[in-house]
Amino acid sequence: MITYNTDGVKMPKIKRKETSAWIKAVVKSYGKMVGEVGYMFVDDEKILEINREYLQHDYYTDVITFDYDEDDVVNGDIVISLDTVRTNAELFNKAYEDELYRVIIHGILHLCGLNDKGPGEREIMEKAENKALEMRNGAF
């Protein structure tokens, strides 16, 4: 089950059923299945608070993923700052909706085992994001 909630922000205009089906298709492409995944959309101040409290990082970010996977079942909480998504969309000259979907799937890709901090990992993550976004645009 995939849930979508907010804390201090308005729910973004995403089609939940279609988005959930897309997420499940991406997860399946990694040989896994979706268990319990919860999205929480927040503002910059809330994500900074979460980043400090749980990760001891003192900076803003667009997404934080908490991984509770069990074997081939994807479980986790994904916190997304809509403020940072909007800022990044402007910074990279992307449509807000496109950047939002990129961040939505970025968290899922972490739950599927991809990382983006080590050497070469960022490029692998970006390639996986682009492939997933193509799946969405092609209605998988």
Q: What is the DSSP letter of 70?
A: B
Work out the pLDDT band at 139, boundaries 50, 70, 90: low
pLDDT tens-digit series, residues 116-137: 888 899 999 999 999 999 999 8
pLDDT tens-digit series, residues 78-103: 999 999 999 999 999 999 999 999 99
Q: Which two tokens stand for residue 54?
A: 């749980």
Q: What is the pLDDT of residue 138?
A: 78
Q: Which domains does the chain have, with CATH numbers?
A: 2-137 (3.40.390.30)
Residue 57 in marked binding region: no
Q: What is the pLDDT of residue 112?
A: 96
pLDDT tens-digit series, residues 8-65: 999 999 999 999 999 999 999 999 999 999 999 999 999 999 999 999 999 999 999 9
Between the alpha carbon of residue 52 and those of residues 55, 59, 68, 82, the distances in Å are 6, 8, 20, 18
Between the alpha carbon of residue 23 and those of residues 15, 20, 45, 55, 92, the distances in Å are 12, 5, 27, 25, 24
Residue 116 in marked binding region: yes
